[in-house]
Structure 1
Amino acid sequence: MRRFLDRLYMLSGGLAALAILGICLLIAAQITFNVIARIGGAGLSYTIPSYADFAGYMLSTATFMALAYTLRAGGHIRVGLVVQRLPRRVRWGAEVGSLAVGALFATTATYYAGLLMAESWHYGDKSTGIVAIPTWMPQVFMVAGLALLAVAFVDTMIESLRAGGPILTDMGAE
């Protein structure tokens, strides 16, 4: 199970990286079209339809798909200056408590994001850009990212409980 979850976190991080790459390529292509139009005149003016919308969808995908990977890599912002000064047992209790609260919030967010996605599907909601995209499509990545974050919180909490001590402060120190 450990290998499966680690691969799943890595896959979600990879998807986030691909989304960032997609944003870079899309914006670079539009900038190239703008430069060509400036040099060659209005006859060579091209625009990628709804490029800003697509960049926004990819940014949302990158944001949500990176959450679980970042948690497991110890990359989320923590109050390290305060936490490192706590005694080990207190630090461990704070870690387990914060992981439980994080799991609760992530699970609740997943539930409501799932309801939003189901509503978008049910009503056939579409984006308002030049290219009308069903809104449930980008919302899938939001729901998947939040669900995976909830799994990562529970996974990390179980790992911390099994270790009998804090593990997150050790993850970020590597």
Structure 2
Amino acid sequence: MRKLLDAIYTISGLVSAMLIAAICLLVTTQVVLNLVTKTGLLSVNLTIPSYADFAGYMLAASTFLALAYTLVRGGHIRVTMVLNIVPTGLRLVGEVVSLLIGTVVSGVATYYMYRLTLESYEFGDMSSGIVAIPLFVPQSTVLAGLLILTIALIDLTVQTIRTGGSVVPQMNSE
């Protein structure tokens, strides 16, 4: 099970990175097309239809898909000043309570994103750009990211309770 969860977190992070690279490629291509149009080399306007919509959907997907990967690698900002001065027993309680609160918040967000995605699917909601996209498609990627984050938070909570201490690596401040 450990290998499966770690693989899910890693794949989620890789997909996120690929989406960021795709955004860069898309925007760069549009900038080049704008330059070609402005220089007058061609007598037609060159544009990628709905490129801003596509970039926005990819940004939302990459953001949410990166959350779990970043969490389990210790990349999220953590306030540890308080935990460093409290006794070990209270430190464990503080970490578990924090992880449980995060799990509940993430779980509620996952539930409501599921409901929104299902509603968009059932009603056939489409984007309003030049290229109409079924809204449930980009919403599904956000839902997947939230679901993976919720699983990661549950996983970290269980690991923290089992080991009796923090299992999230600390990022180096150097």
Report the TM-score range of the alignment, normalised by the length of the smaller protein: over 0.9
Instruction: Report the RMSD for the aligned CA atoms in angstroms.
Output: 1.3
Q: Once the 2 structures are TM-superposed, how far is the Cα of residue 89 of structure 1 from its aligned partner?
A: 2.2
**Aligned equivalents of 2:121, 2:68: Cα separation in 1:** 25
**Which structure 2 residue ranges, 5 or more long, are not aligned?**
none
> Match for residue 172 of structure 1?
170
1:118 aligns to 2:118 (yes or no):
yes
Matched residue type, 1:172: Q
Matches within 5 A, 1:76-115: 76-115=76-115
So what's the TM-score if we normalise by structure 1? 0.94
Task: Indicate the structure with greater helix content.
Answer: 1
**1:127–1:135 CA contact under 8 A, matched in 2:** yes
Q: Once the 2 structures are TM-superposed, how far is the Cα of residue 44 of structure 1 from its aligned partner?
A: 4.2
Tell me how many residue pairs correspond in the alignment.
172
**Aligned equivalents of 2:60, 2:114: Cα separation in 1:** 15
> Match for residue 21 of structure 1?
21
Classify 1:173/1:77 alpha carbon distance in 2 versus 1 (closer, same or farther; 3 Å): closer
**2:75–2:171 CA contact under 8 A, matched in 1:** no
1:132 aligns to 2:132 (yes or no):
yes
**Which structure 1 residue ranges, 5 or more long, are not aligned?**
none
**1:67–1:145 CA contact under 8 A, matched in 2:** yes
> Match for residue 36 of structure 1?
36
Q: Once the 2 structures are TM-superposed, how far is the Cα of residue 167 of structure 1 from its aligned partner?
A: 2.4
Percent of aligned pairs with the same amino acid:
45
**1:89–1:165 CA contact under 8 A, matched in 2:** no
Q: Once the 2 structures are TM-superposed, how far is the Cα of residue 172 of structure 1 from its aligned partner?
A: 1.3
> Match for residue 5 of structure 2?
5
1:65 aligns to 2:60 (yes or no):
no
**Aligned equivalents of 2:24, 2:89: Cα separation in 1:** 45
Q: Once the 2 structures are TM-superposed, how far is the Cα of residue 64 of structure 1 from its aligned partner?
A: 0.6
**Aligned equivalents of 1:27, 1:148: Cα separation in 2:** 28
**1:88–1:166 CA contact under 8 A, matched in 2:** no
For residues 8-49 of structure 1, the C-alpha deviation after alignment (integer angstroms, 9 at most, x for no partner) is 000000110011011000000000001111222561420100
**Aligned equivalents of 2:102, 2:125: Cα separation in 1:** 30
**Aligned equivalents of 2:21, 2:76: Cα separation in 1:** 21
